[in-house]
């Protein structure tokens, strides 16, 4: 009987199948890691914006509590638009106040812009100012919405 060297088709198929399975599992791990890094970046960006909004409320409490608008004033550069419902500021307001770096783009890692609302509650003279930061579009991953707390 002649003994042939080499692999049978079955052996090659099994090895290729196992290799494909391992590659697929590594791809899923890589994708999950990528999503975690993206979530961390978006969370860091909104945290930076939130801290700047808190400092802005502290600096401009007297103007926000009276719902006073501002635009291009030397002592209060704004822009800040106020109505009876509250005030709205932009990331540019925070840059103008020196609370965010000049190169700040106003979009997060998901390419969503921010909307910043400041609401007044309570009674004079002890108003409480609450800030709300929203993004222009929801973050969807795999058909589900991502939530950042």
Q: pTM, whole model, 2 decimals?
A: 0.74
**Mean pLDDT along residues 71-91:** 89
Q: Which domain holds residue 94?
A: 9-145
CA 121 to chain centre: 26
* Total count of domains within the chain: 1
Distance (Å, whole) CA 64 – CA 18 = 63
- What is the percent of the chain with per-residue pLDDT over 70, rounded to a whole number? 91
Radius of gyration of the chain (CA): 27
Give the pLDDT confidence of 20-78 residue by residue, as tens digits: 888 888 888 788 788 888 888 888 999 999 999 999 999 999 999 999 998 777 788 88
Q: Is residue 2 part of a domain?
A: no
Q: Is residue 73 part of a domain?
A: yes
Phi, psi of 29 (to 5 degrees): -60, -45
Q: 127 or 5, which is more confident?
A: 127
Distance (Å, whole) CA 116 – CA 99 = 14
Q: Is residue 136 part of a domain?
A: yes
- 8 A C-beta contact, residue 97 and residue 117: no
DSSP 74-99: SSS---EEEETTEEEE-HHHHHHTTS
Q: Is residue 118 part of a domain?
A: yes
Cβ neighbours of residue 100 under 8 Å, at least 6 residues apart?
Answer: 48, 49, 52, 91, 94
Nearest residue to 8 (alpha-carbon basis) of 20, 16, 23? 16
pLDDT of residue 95: 95
Q: Is residue 3 part of a domain?
A: no
Cβ-based neighbour number of residue 40 at 10 Å: 12
Q: Is residue 4 part of a domain?
A: no
pLDDT class of 93 with cuts at 50, 70, 90: very high
Q: Is residue 72 part of a domain?
A: yes
Q: Is residue 69 part of a domain?
A: yes
Q: 147 or 117, which is more confident?
A: 117
């Amino acid at each position: 009987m002649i003994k042939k060297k080499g692999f049978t088709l079955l052996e090659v198929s099994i090895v290729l199948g196992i290799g494909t399975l391992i590659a697929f599992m590594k791809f899923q791990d890589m994708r999950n890691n990528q999503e975690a890094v993206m979530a961390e970046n978006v969370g860091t960006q909104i945290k930076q914006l939130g801290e700047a909004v808190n400092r802005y409320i502290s600096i401009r409490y007297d103007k926000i509590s009276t719902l006073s608008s501002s635009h291009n004033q030397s002592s209060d550069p704004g822009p800040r638009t106020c109505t009876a419902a509250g005030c709205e500021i932009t990331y540019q307001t925070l840059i103008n106040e020196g609370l965010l770096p000049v190169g700040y783009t106003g979009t997060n890692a998901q390419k969503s812009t921010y909307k910043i609302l400041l609401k007044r509650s309570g009674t004079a003279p002890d108003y409480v100012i609450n800030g709300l930061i929203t993004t222009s579009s929801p973050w969807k991953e795999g058909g589900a919405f991502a939530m950042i707390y």
